[in-house]
Structure 1
Amino acid sequence: MIASDLDGTLLRNDGTLSPRTLRALRAAEGAGAEIVIVTARPPRFVDRLAEATGLVGTAVCSNGAMVYDIATRTVVSSRHLPLVTARRVVTALAAALPEVGFALETGNQVLYEPAFRIRFSEDGAEIPVPSLADLWLTEAPVTKLLAWSDRLDADTLLAAARPGAGSDVQLTHSGGHGLLEISARGVTKAGTLAMLCAGRGIEAAEVIAFGDMPNDLTVLDWAGTGYAMANAHPAVLAAVPVHTISNEEDGVAHVIERLLAEAATGAFHGADDADAPADAV
């Protein structure tokens, strides 16, 4: 299995999937590998990418909160953040960080209150509510709570939020300026990917993963071989020993092409060769 993050990893900075990377993914599938997208993005973003590229298969969305079948546009499974938990966390964070704005991600929409001023350019999917209190009137299941500050960067916001968030949520970020992502306790990209693999009879050692941000660290650590992109967050570059070139240089394709070439010549070492620095930068 090849498990890849999207933004900053599989996609270039303009949000597109390069022809080279698409060819590499299709070649890997032709050689018998399963491609799984593992992203903080919701299914609606994956749908648009699939329409543009023809990608099919499975996506782990919303940092592990959802498993999504791309071809049928079906949510296979989901783990929601209880509204009462989200409300408790918002109360604690608002007391500690009064300038922070909040939004709820449902998989289909983002509901945001007035202080949440960041936009994701998703036509029709971003729905304003009159006040923070109105967030709690939603009847839609919540996949993520989003907290945003125009003053604090994501790392600082994450550190500031930890004391008040408590142990019944999962905190992370995927590099958005001042944007914190909050899921139900135990929901991570790696946890959901591991359950997916178990159902397919795939061992962690058979998984090659790619990522660039702190929310990818669980996957990069769990997989048999985890590749950090050259453009990755400093914490990811420090924690992950094997690197590839940047997303702008098609770093995922670079690795896939090398592995397929090794397999064709009988020199392939497999996903257990995690210490080989062939793609280190």
Structure 2
Amino acid sequence: MEQPPRLVATDLDGTLLRSDRSISARTAEVVNRIIAAGGQVVLVTGRPIRWMAHVYDHLGIQVPAICANGAVVYDPIEDTVLRADPLAPELLAEVARRLRAEVPDVRFAVEILDGREMRHEIGYPTHQYELPETLRVIDAPEELLSAPAVKLLARAGVQDPDAFVQVVAGALEGLAEATHSSRSGLVEISASGVTKAAGLAWFCTRHGITADEAVAFGDMPNDVPMLTWAGRSIAVANAHPDVLRIADEVTLTNEEDGVAAYLEKFFPAA
């Protein structure tokens, strides 16, 4: 990729964000330079919409986001969902049935209302950054699975994430997508065909951008489809082995502003 990319797609946690979930001034400045030069920046994340506000605060600019591992395409300026690919209630019920048979102690949560609210079972550990008004505990399994969900989350105590995702994927083969983006044993389940690559491809088609005009950054297995799709794929040095294996190049770690360091070659400071 000799010319500057027309579109930069980047994961957030572990990639653009540092471990304290902040974005450095250096990184924010590069993103703003890309936009000023007429380029596109898209945030492609497993995060729900409700976790995006502080990212925009750090960037100082609102750019489109593909959330929930590709299930939601979000316009933050208008606070509008441009596209959503949820799991239907009947599909959620079948996924839950299969996983309860395979992993009896599994606990579920669902991202509903395009990711603006989470519902979860008793015993499901919630994130410390969740706001009480966005959470709802559900006693009855049938109520938990009664609304379309852009993501189903599964936990079963302490698990090796790579091993657990294989168990889940095997149980759901042909029915839904299973991936992970953390080292905590959390598996993220989406409707069949819904990946970061699918969400990004839809966005690029809408804007007349081809895969070879895009560069993508990531660090975890849920980034692999996007990295494979993009014309050039860049792993941060702290990435999961699966990501390091398929990336075209490796940049510095997220703590060392690896995304900014790579992009400064194309978008240098004045």
- Give TM-score scaled by structure 2 length: 0.92
Q: Distance in 1 between matches of 2:128 and 2:220?
A: 18
Q: Distance in 1 between matches of 2:18 and 2:229?
A: 25
Match of 2:103 in 1: 97
Aligned positions of 1:1-281 closer than 5 A: 1-106=7-112, 107-123=115-131, 124-137=133-146, 139=147, 141-261=148-268
In the alignment, residue 23 of structure 1 is paired with which amino acid?
A: E
In the alignment, residue 41 of structure 1 is paired with which amino acid?
A: R
- Cα distance, 1:176 vs. partner? 4.4
Q: Distance in 1 between matches of 2:9 and 2:31?
A: 11
RCO higher in structure (CA 8 A, sep ≥6): 2
Q: Percent identity?
A: 39
- Cα distance, 1:226 vs. partner? 0.7
User: What secondary structure does 2:61 align onto?
Assistant: coil
* Paired residues of 1:101 and 1:149 also in contact (CA < 8 A): yes
Q: Distance in 1 between matches of 2:209 and 2:128?
A: 35
- Cα distance, 1:52 vs. partner? 4.2
Aligned residues: 261
Match of 1:269 in 2: none
In the alignment, residue 165 of structure 1 is paired with which amino acid?
A: L
Q: Distance in 2 between matches of 1:8 and 1:58?
A: 19
Q: 1:52 to 1:261 in 2, by over 3 A?
A: closer
Match of 2:3 in 1: none
- Cα distance, 1:28 vs. partner? 1.4
- Cα distance, 1:136 vs. partner? 2.7
* Paired residues of 2:235 and 2:251 also in contact (CA < 8 A): yes
* Paired residues of 2:46 and 2:67 also in contact (CA < 8 A): yes
In the alignment, residue 121 of structure 1 is paired with which amino acid?
A: Y
Q: 1:175 to 1:96 in 2, by over 3 A?
A: same
In the alignment, residue 221 of structure 1 is paired with which amino acid?
A: T
Q: Aligned Cα RMSD in Å?
A: 1.6
* Paired residues of 1:100 and 1:115 also in contact (CA < 8 A): no
Q: Distance in 2 between matches of 1:228 and 1:201?
A: 25
Q: Distance in 2 between matches of 1:142 and 1:48?
A: 23
Could you report, residue by residue, the CA deviation over 1:11-66 in whole angstroms, capped at 9, with x for unpaired residues?
10111111110001111112221110000111111123223432212101100101
In the alignment, residue 122 of structure 2 is paired with which amino acid?
A: P
Q: Distance in 2 between matches of 1:52 and 1:10?
A: 11
- Cα distance, 1:5 vs. partner? 0.5
* Paired residues of 2:107 and 2:124 also in contact (CA < 8 A): yes
- Cα distance, 1:203 vs. partner? 1.0
* Paired residues of 1:231 and 1:247 also in contact (CA < 8 A): yes
Q: Distance in 1 between matches of 2:84 and 2:35?
A: 26
* Paired residues of 1:2 and 1:207 also in contact (CA < 8 A): yes
- Give TM-score scaled by structure 1 length: 0.88
- Cα distance, 1:261 vs. partner? 4.1
User: What secondary structure does 1:258 align onto?
Assistant: coil
* Paired residues of 1:102 and 1:132 also in contact (CA < 8 A): no
